Structure 1
């Protein structure tokens, strides 16, 4: 009897915590929002993506990929071997528009390259029971490889024409972001079979990597298409100067020649904040928020937020909502569940989901 009372007492002590995590509230400019825990017990959840049947996929940086349905997660076999060091590992996951017929998914990851590693993109087919990846093959990998565990990027986005954009960090080698002979510090564009689109800006140049779409990026860990099909990235600056950029074909975004931040030592970066031929950010944060995960909202559940940009903060534990022209930070969505935000996505019903690295969980924001 005493044993049963002790168990009951322990359960009652845990109940308030469990309830607050499963269904919480978050303040916003549109009133209180409901925050629901959809799945948990992840070790550094890096990205997630929705499947057409309402279930979803979650990557863990150490290399695991999970299928989640009704809060229950099952590990998927057949994932690539990853260089899980520093910021490297299994990174983004993307489900293309034709998944129902193709069963194909795309993964970005840090791939071992000799003594170093580089960001790579792989494709594989998800089995009918969602338990395994088959026919896994690498479509692209950044060359040459680099040592160290910093600045892999990396997101993958399907463009309207079916081509794929992949964001790549400069791996901590600052000058490489200005070197078109290297992939580091760029956004690349490839066809779905891994070939290079003839319309890429440097496809015919012998002194450039043909996959490069834009360059001069530091470490873009957020990337999304807006409602008009334009590509945007959110990228880490150094000390200050985290940027949101509208990505244009062949454009140079300036790192490390121009920046609104400073080196961690406090020293000036490059030439200042502007140079002819280099793009200005649409928005920058100072102090830095460490942006990771980016979504541009359709307005399905909250029409007032249509077209707004949502970016997760790893440093200050909130989701930044950016709006207007010129772009500015309109509000910060923060609650007990937010923590280090690694990914932000819009669900098919218009609810906003996020992956919290510190909570090890995926949450849904709704009315």
Structure 2
């Protein structure tokens, strides 16, 4: 039966009270496809954290690891010791909210600037915030100080889902932020809101020169692309292209190449449907919207995205690695092929929250949830 177009405001009234959880907990686990490459690996458990969300590496190999309840850990892989970093702002913990992503300024070695995203409560409900602070880890009492608030989701809304709030510095030195539509649907298409968007800013939070909607208002100045649902991973490939991976509704998880000024169609189109069974037209029915390069039904529940650009795992070189929640996997995608294709899926047996490449080319992997392991992947 062909899908019928559902008016956005009609389904938002029905769905706004549904699901504070994303498809990580509600869709069928994705079926593992036959691998096209056979990169071998082995896994080592390194440490345990409580609801970790993201990590960043210092030049000396120590890791900064965020935990959702509002803790930032300084972890030394050599000694396997973890120290709390003080000075973290109060976060709104609950649902998908809490302390989120972390990124180092490109000139971190000189300015010591670290960027954090987190959920906060305020007038109207909840929203994500990004702050910049100085990181002091020279003694046994590490702390962040001189916190400056540089960005927030507009408007704050009810519910604690789909913050997204991934942060990334690009090759151009600009700060990129993924902002989820907060399970409110319509804001992803509205230019007076920065929900459901990919944003490009200067390092102080001001809109970056060259953004496509610079003449459409103060909020629109931030926007690089729109029509996104819950983009939980953003990364640049070796050619400097930006990609995002985002959760679809009931089916239709997406990997997109993120292009200046493009509209990715949510909630007007999606390759999935609403949790209540209402259909959403597929991307091919509305060619004016940018379709994903690859989509997944059953879902993989993507949590994070990196491009592997080292030599230790030669068959993963220049390929996208996607952390999977409900799929309990790392999904390897070759974005150089036409069409883009999944080439390997690592069965991790646990929900995967974040990925990073260690200085020696091995892979750091953070599991999701309570008593979650930090894993190290090495060639077998």
Report the TM-score when normalising by structure 2. 0.85
Aligned with 2:103 (options 91, 94, 98)? 94
Secondary structure at 1:304 match in 2? helix
2:339 maps to which of 308, 326, 329 = 326
Given the alignment of the two structures, is residue 34 of structure 1 paired with residue 42 of structure 2, yes or no? yes
1:117 to 2:117 alignment:
no
Could you say what secondary structure the match of 1:101 adopts?
helix
* Superposition deviation, residue 170 in structure 1: 0.3
What is the CA–CA distance in structure 2 between the aligned matches of 1:160 and 1:281, rounded to whole Å? 23
Equivalent residue runs for 1:70-219 within 5 Å:
70-127=79-136, 128-129=138-139, 131-206=142-217, 209-219=220-230
Partner of 1:231: 242
Residue 273 (structure 2) aligns with: 262
Q: Can you list the C-alpha shifts for 1:169-216, whole angstroms capped at 9, x where unaligned?
A: 100100110111101000111100111112111112238521011110
Q: Distance in 2 between matches of 1:274 and 1:79?
A: 46
Retained in 1: the 8 A contact 2:283–2:289?
no
- Could you say which structure has the larger radius of gyration? 1
Which deviates more from structure 2 when the two are superposed, residues 278-287 or residues 78-87? Answer: 78-87
Q: CA separation of 1:272/1:189 partners in 2, compared to 1, >3 Å: closer, same or farther?
A: closer
Q: Distance in 2 between matches of 1:157 and 1:144?
A: 22
Contact 2:36 2:343 in 1 (8 A): no
Give the match for residue 363 of structure 1: 375
Contact 1:89/1:110 (CA < 8 Å) preserved in 2?
A: yes
- Contact kept in structure 1, 2:283 and 2:291, CA below 8 Å: no
| Equivalent residue, structure 2, for 1:54 | 61
Question: C-alpha displacement at 1:274, in angstroms?
Answer: 3.5
- 1:111 deviates by 2.2
Structure 1 residues 309, 189: CA separation in 2 closer, same or farther (over 3 Å shift)?
same
Is 1:345 matched with 2:356?
yes
How far apart, in 2, do the equivalents of 1:207 and 1:271 lie? 32
When residues 31 and 237 of structure 1 are mapped into structure 2, their CA distance, relative to the original with a 3 A threshold, is closer
Once the 2 structures are TM-superposed, how far is the Cα of residue 265 of structure 1 from its aligned partner?
A: 2.1
- Separation in 2 of the partners of 1:347 and 1:230? 22
Contact residue 271 and residue 281 of structure 2 kept, 8 A: no
Ranges in structure 2 where 5+ consecutive residues have no aligned partner: 1-34
The equivalent of 2:50 in structure 1 is 43
Does the 8 Å CA contact 1:202/1:208 hold for their aligned counterparts? no
1-side partners of 2:242 and 2:327: how far apart? Answer: 25
Deviation for aligned residue 1:291: 0.5
Residue 221 of structure 2 aligns to a residue in which SS? coil
Deviation string for 1:6-49 (max 9, x for gaps)? xxxxxxxxxxxxxxxxxxxxx99445412112221x11110111
Match of 1:5 in 2: none
Please give the secondary structure, in 2, of the residue aligned with 1:126.
Answer: strand
Structure 1, residues 229-284: CA drift from partner, whole Å, max 9, x if none?
11111000001000001001111011011110011122201566441321010110
**TM-score, length-scaled by structure 1:** 0.88
Which stretch shows the higher mean deviation, 159-168 or 27-36? 27-36
How far has the Cα of 1:220 moved from its partner?
Answer: 0.4
2:119 and 2:310 mapped to 1: Cα distance?
34
CA contact (8 A) 1:300 1:350 kept: yes
Relative contact order higher in (CA < 8 Å, ≥ 6 apart):
2
What is aligned with 1:17?
A: none
CA distance in 1, matches of 2:97, 2:259: 27
Secondary structure of the structure 1 residue equivalent to 2:73:
strand
State the Cα distance separating 1:340 from its structure 2 match. Answer: 0.7
Distance 2:72 2:50 in 1: 11
In 2: Cα distance, 1:111 partner to 1:44 partner: 18
Structure 2 CA distance, aligned partners of 1:116 and 1:126?
30
